Amino acid sequence: MVILIGGASCSGKTTMAQKLMEEYRITYMSIDHVKMGIVRGSKYCDFSAEDPEDEVTEKLWPIVEGIIKTNIENDQHIIMEGCYLPTDKVVTFDKEYIDYIVPLYLCFSQPYIEKHYADGIIAHRSETEYKNIDSYMIKENFIRAHKNQKERCIRDGLIYFEVSEDYNQDLRSAYDWIKTMIDRKKSLRYN
């Protein structure tokens, strides 16, 4: 089983993956770490960490897809999180793989971002791993990115959980849904 946690920047993907790892003892992998390993370590890398997200996603997806398939084929459980999980690619997995994948996406509503941008988003950006503030991290960009994430999930029929009032309370339904999916899929065997 592969749990995929996607979403826009600073939506709580890494924090959720860390909590799930601790609760279920399932290894997690940050796609950001995969990206930086390739950027820093591969002489064949043809992108940089500063390239637009869509371009990096396009370059990383074949690698991420290969990791997902390999974990499934080896009956290994993993949680993968990152903003490089394109909804239009996740929904195209063949039937032999899709039954073993639990995809979900996190996003914030515009009113939540308007109200909690400084104290609820930026202030907690480094809760699980260090995140520097860069020129992208302005309120208008967050609003646009989270709105786009929600629209892509709706378009491609994927589950998303939107924080609209209270972060912990709103995400409780996401944790409950994941627990149900883990209970259903953890015993599935590919081989």
C-alpha closest to that of 144 among 133, 155, 152, 132: 152
Q: State residue 133's pLDDT score.
A: 57
For the chain, give every domain's residue range: 2-185
10 pLDDT more than 90: no
Q: State residue 117's pLDDT score.
A: 82
For 43-66, write each residue's pLDDT tens digit: 999 999 889 989 999 999 999 999
For 89-131, write each residue's pLDDT tens digit: 999 999 899 999 999 999 999 998 888 887 766 655 555 555 5
Residue 39, Cβ neighbours under 10 Å: how many? 15
Q: State residue 55's pLDDT score.
A: 95
Task: Evaluate whether 189 touches 99 at the Cβ level (below 8 Å).
Answer: no
Taking the C-alpha atoms of residue 142 and residue 51, their distance in angstroms, rounded to an integer, is 17
Q: What CATH number belongs to 2-185?
A: 3.40.50.300
**Highest averaged pLDDT of the listed ranges 11-15, 25-29, 168-172:** 25-29
Q: State residue 132's pLDDT score.
A: 58
Report the sign of the C-alpha dihedral through residues 128, 105, 56, 135, in that order. Answer: negative
